[in-house]
């Protein structure tokens, strides 16, 4: 065929015709390729492994999509006009009231608000616009911001500001409890001290992980291991969320640090003096919060721990 200005589509190759016509295909022996090449038999064990692997991959994909949906929902909350700070706070109070009564539920939400406002104030001092706190029943509260500061030291300041103000809020509850001999305020103080202490676990996205960015980033792996151990001892949906997102964030950050770029070096460059100051505040908070929990721990008449939450 002479060449021209167009070309014909390449046809799809068809199966070769066997001598004897199409009936020759049917005459091929079992286990053999009708075109002469022997087929490869697959063992039952190999088939079982493939099925198990496919099932595990499908389950893993579903879990990943589930957590991605949760993350997307949390990021979407601040954009919904109806879900304002007051609105989400009221929803959370109503949800917690089902288990604790409205008075304790309201006090608990106020403590969450105080903690988050610590972050908001610190971010605005860093010149970063932050959203007002948003509340998610049984998951806590959150704020959104474009960044946590220009460097690891700023990130540590923002991270520790939440537990600092949260500790003050729990301390106020303790003062009220002692002045009025109120077990409810004593229980609020206890849960406030506990929540802020829990947030100091050295793994991102918790506040302790933010502090570790300026102190010792390798502690992220220690913190992640601690959360995994806690999840085995005290199974909790919140712990699973922290493990999932914490694991992703630790891996992402460590890979970036491994690039040894100038940008990464500048971000994590902290003077020994500032590193010491962050460490003193971090350890000091742990000590104060542990003492606060001990002071507000209530025992029932039978000697067992009394828990109002």
pLDDT tens track for 31-60: 444 444 444 555 666 666 666 666 666 666
Establish if 115 belongs to a structural domain. yes
Establish if 203 belongs to a structural domain. yes
Establish if 114 belongs to a structural domain. yes
The reported pTM is: 0.71
- In which element (H, E) is residue 235 found? none
Establish if 120 belongs to a structural domain. yes
Say how many domains are in the chain.
1
Q: Please enumerate, as own/partner, the contacts of 168-174 that have beta carbons within 8 Å and a separation of 24 or more.
A: 168/114, 169/110, 169/111, 169/114, 169/115, 170/111, 170/196, 170/289, 170/292, 171/292, 173/107, 173/111, 174/292, 174/295, 174/296
Domain holding 261, by residue range, is 81-296
pLDDT band, very low/low/confident/very high, at 83 (cuts 50, 70, 90): low
The position carrying tokens 């199966």 is 15
pLDDT at 25 exceeding the cut of 60: no
Establish if 213 belongs to a structural domain. yes
pLDDT band, very low/low/confident/very high, at 191 (cuts 50, 70, 90): very high
Tokens coding 77: 């909350």
Q: Which residues pair with 140 in a beta bridge?
A: 136
Establish if 179 belongs to a structural domain. yes
* CA 86-88-89 angle, 5° bins: 60
pLDDT at 93 exceeding the cut of 50: yes
Asked if 182 and 307 count as a contact pair (C-beta separation under 8 A), the reply is no
Residues 6 or more apart whose Cβ sits within 8 Å of residue 104: 96, 184, 187, 188, 308, 309
Tokens coding 299: 């025992």
Establish if 269 belongs to a structural domain. yes
Asked if 289 and 297 count as a contact pair (C-beta separation under 8 A), the reply is no
Establish if 35 belongs to a structural domain. no
């Amino acid at each position: 065929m002479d060449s021209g200005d167009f070309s014909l589509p390449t046809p799809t190759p068809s199966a070769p015709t066997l001598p004897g016509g199409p009936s020759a295909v049917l005459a091929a022996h079992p286990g053999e390729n009708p075109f002469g090449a022997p087929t490869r038999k697959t063992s039952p064990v190999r088939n079982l492994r493939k099925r198990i692997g496919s099932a595990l991959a499908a389950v893993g994909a579903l879990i990943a999509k589930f957590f991605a949906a949760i993350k997307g929902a949390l990021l979407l909350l601040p954009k919904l006009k109806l879900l304002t700070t007051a609105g989400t706070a009221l929803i959370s109070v109503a949800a917690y009231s089902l288990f604790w009564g409205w008075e304790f539920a309201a006090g608990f939400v106020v403590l969450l608000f105080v903690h988050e406002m610590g972050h908001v104030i610190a971010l605005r001092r860093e010149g970063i616009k932050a959203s007002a706190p948003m509340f998610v029943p049984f998951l806590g509260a959150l704020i959104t911001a474009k960044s946590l500061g220009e460097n690891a030291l700023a990130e540590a300041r923002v991270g520790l500001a939440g537990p600092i103000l949260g500790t003050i809020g729990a301390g106020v509850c303790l003062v009220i409890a002692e002045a009025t001999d109120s077990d409810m305020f004593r229980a609020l103080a206890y849960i406030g001290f506990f929540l802020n202490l829990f947030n100091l676990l050295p793994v991102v996205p918790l506040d302790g992980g933010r502090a570790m960015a300026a102190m010792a980033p390798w502690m992220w792996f220690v913190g992640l291991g601690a959360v995994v151990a806690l999840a085995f001892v005290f199974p909790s949906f919140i712990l699973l969320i922290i493990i999932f997102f914490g694991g992703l964030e630790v891996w992402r950050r460590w890979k970036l640090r491994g690039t040894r770029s100038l940008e990464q070096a500048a971000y994590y460059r902290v003077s020994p003096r500032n590193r010491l100051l962050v460490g003193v505040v971090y350890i000091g908070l742990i000590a104060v919060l542990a003492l606060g929990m001990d002071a507000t721990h209530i025992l029932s008449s039978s000697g067992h721990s009394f828990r109002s939450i």
